[in-house]
Amino acid sequence: MSYPAIADHGVIGDLHTAALVGRDGSIDWACLPRFDSMSLFAAILDDAKGGRWRVAPRAYSAAEQRYLAGTNVLQTVFRTEGGVADLTDFMPVGPSRAGRSRIFRRVRAVRGQTPIQVSWEPRFDYATRAPTFHPRRHGVLATDLDNDVAAIIGPAGVAWRLADGAATAGLTLAEGEAAWFVGTFDEDELGGIPSHDPEATLDATVRFWDAWSSRLRYDGPFRREVERSALALKLCCYEPTGAIVAAPTTSLPESLAGGRNWDYRYTWLRDSAFVLYALDRLGYETETDAFLGFLKRVCRREDSRSLQIMFAVDGERQLPERTLDHLEGYRGTGPVLVGNGAVDQFQLDVYGEVLDTAHAWTRRRAPTEGLWKVVRDLADWTAAHWREPDSSIWEPRLGRRHYVFSKVMAWVALHRGAQIAEAHGHAADAERWRRDAAEIHADVLARGWDAERRTFVQAYGESSLDAALLAIPTVHFLPYGDRRVRGTLDAVRRELATSCEELLYRFRARDGLEGGEGAFVFGSLWMMQNLAMVGEHAEGERLFRNLLRRGGELGLLAEEIDPATGEQLGNYPQALSHAGVINTAFILEKLRGGG
């Protein structure tokens, strides 16, 4: 079976869902109508069974992908024996979306005559239900016994062959000629291509993305990479509720040995906070406004004012984890999972990330009554529970421990809560939370610092380290000139080093899971931020440039990278990785020249 590299895919989306498009012209992943819906195409998780939609020349010698500048409109260019052809893929956004998810694909003969092959192989419900095909005047309708419906619409006169679970067609384009195909979901009335007005829809989609990206505030040397990261983050936003998914995929492996495959199509409050911090730096406020609305809604339903760490994009709390045994997984690396068992973990650090986001928002305006209630409840809960062990940022499936990162973020929760309270007339709350924050600060310095090794440790009373310790100066728990910041950076680089100097493992301690994993992109970016902070700006920037090159021709990053092969691993594109790119670029620019 043939599996292209994870990084050999571009991503398109409509702020409701997203699709992965391979360099070979194949849509290998798409869940419709929203991120966490059942898949319609899942070839990336099972090449034989998953289903795909491929549009490409019958034969070509090379292919490359790029985005139209400032947009999430993807273009794949094929070099053929007789010339050049290109494929343009997008999903309408904004008003042109017209209340439904559609995928538009335009194939064009740029130079020379080009024979084109189209193969449409939908598979409903994670490929558990094969479709029944129905020929229509403008294309092909696919249905199943549960009344799921999908359709492909093509140019007039195209002859479709329906056999072996696929609708296929061939056509030959003369130089300068183009053909449009439109994929729809949950529609059984197939109007022709003109009824979808593809050229106007493409123009409107380009204008939408261009208008959004043109508002980006960053003028440093990494403008192209920052813009692409921002556009990737926007694709992870779920417009109807303000939720933000950690990634639009499930079960892409953290190691090709298997065992560490997770469903990331949900809203982790922590990851969302890092994303919003990055977007806020770029001048994007609408996304924070929308997410805080989502946060208020889910907090109103929380028991005892404690926070569940993740939710479905509509705010649903129940995310039971189950295995899809009929799918072999990417390159045969299972399991394929939907849902996420970490949903029930207590992760203390989430309070800090959420209240840090609220603090950034309230610097521009007074908190509403609803937001102030969220701030007060979360800060009070943190003050009452910070002494408890938790599962922390890396979600090990072991018993709880007293993680240093979690205690630091509990300090952030109370420190930021106090700042919000003080700025908006709640002096008694501010004073109380500052006392609690000071107690946490002293506790971390007393129990989380290993004086002999001159480093903070991952958990109280233990010797192992983790990359999350590098957040200590970035959240202002200690000033970056503090000797303990430098000592921890040096120790983390020694103990979590990989064979590539710009990459770190996130930890080496046992976590209750089978198999290994690659180097963690976000932790590696924390290292580069720390280097700039302790005065090694040139080294931090050099390593940052090395890491950015790993994003390939599209500049997209997964969660992890295999240090031995350079291959991207884990779910893709990963919101946390791209938030880290933006934040690192800003820190490097701020500290350039000793600033």
Statement: residue 92 has pLDDT above 90: yes
The pLDDT assigned to 147 comes to: 87
Domain identity same for 153 and 231: no
> Which residue, 335, 341, 325, is CA-closest to 127?
325
pLDDT per residue over 300-326, tens digit each? 876 545 689 999 999 999 999 999 999
Statement: residue 329 has pLDDT above 70: yes
Statement: residue 559 has pLDDT above 70: yes
Domain identity same for 259 and 271: yes
Domain identity same for 95 and 227: no
pLDDT tier for residue 270 given thresholds of 50, 70 and 90: very high
The pLDDT assigned to 305 comes to: 56
Where does residue 94 fall: left (phi above 0), alpha (psi -120 to 50 degrees), or beta otherwise? left
Which residues in 106-136 are b (16+ Cβ under 10 Å) and which e?
A: bbbbbeeebebbbbbbbbbebbebbbebeee
The pLDDT assigned to 379 comes to: 96
The mean pLDDT of 539-556, rounded to a whole number, is: 97
The pLDDT assigned to 398 comes to: 83
Domain identity same for 137 and 75: yes
Statement: residue 295 has pLDDT above 80: yes
CATH of the domain at 539: 1.50.10.10
Statement: residue 91 has pLDDT above 80: yes
The mean pLDDT of 29-43, rounded to a whole number, is: 98
Domain identity same for 172 and 293: no
pLDDT per residue over 234-257, tens digit each? 999 999 999 999 999 999 999 998
The mean pLDDT of 117-137, rounded to a whole number, is: 96
Residue 4 lies in a domain: no
Residue 2 lies in a domain: no
The pLDDT assigned to 351 comes to: 97
pLDDT tier for residue 386 given thresholds of 50, 70 and 90: very high
Q: At what angle do helices 575-590 and 521-533 cross, to 10 degrees?
A: 10
The span from the CA of 146 to the CA of 579, in Å, is 39
Average pLDDT for the chain? 95
The span from the CA of 413 to the CA of 358, in Å, is 10
The span from the CA of 230 to the CA of 234, in Å, is 6
The pLDDT assigned to 513 comes to: 78
Domain identity same for 175 and 263: no
Residue 174 lies in a domain: yes
The pLDDT assigned to 556 comes to: 98
Residue 484 lies in a domain: yes
Domain identity same for 371 and 480: yes
Statement: residue 357 has pLDDT above 80: yes
Bigger pLDDT: 206 vs 396: 206
Q: Give the amino acid at 154.
A: G
Domain identity same for 125 and 180: yes
pLDDT per residue over 494-514, tens digit each? 999 999 999 999 999 887 777
The pLDDT assigned to 259 comes to: 81
Domain stops at, among 144, 179, 211: 211
The mean pLDDT of 179-201, rounded to a whole number, is: 95
CATH of the domain at 61: 2.70.98.50
The pLDDT assigned to 323 comes to: 97
Q: What is the pTM of this model?
A: 0.97
The residue range of the domain holding 489 is 215-594
Residue 265 lies in a domain: yes
Q: Are 239 and 15 in contact (CB under 8 A)?
A: yes
Range of lowest pLDDT (58-62, 194-198, 256-260, 502-506):
256-260
Residue 19 lies in a domain: yes
Q: Please tell me the total count of domains within the chain.
A: 2
Residue 63 lies in a domain: yes
Domain stops at, among 211, 240, 265: 211
Domain identity same for 187 and 245: no
Domain identity same for 68 and 137: yes
What would the two tokens of residue 25 be? 């012209």
The mean pLDDT of 408-413, rounded to a whole number, is: 98
Domain identity same for 302 and 179: no
Residue 1 lies in a domain: no
Domain stops at, among 196, 211, 226: 211
Q: Where are the beta strands (DSSP E) in 38-101?
A: 39-41, 52-57, 62-67, 74-80, 83-90
Domain identity same for 161 and 302: no
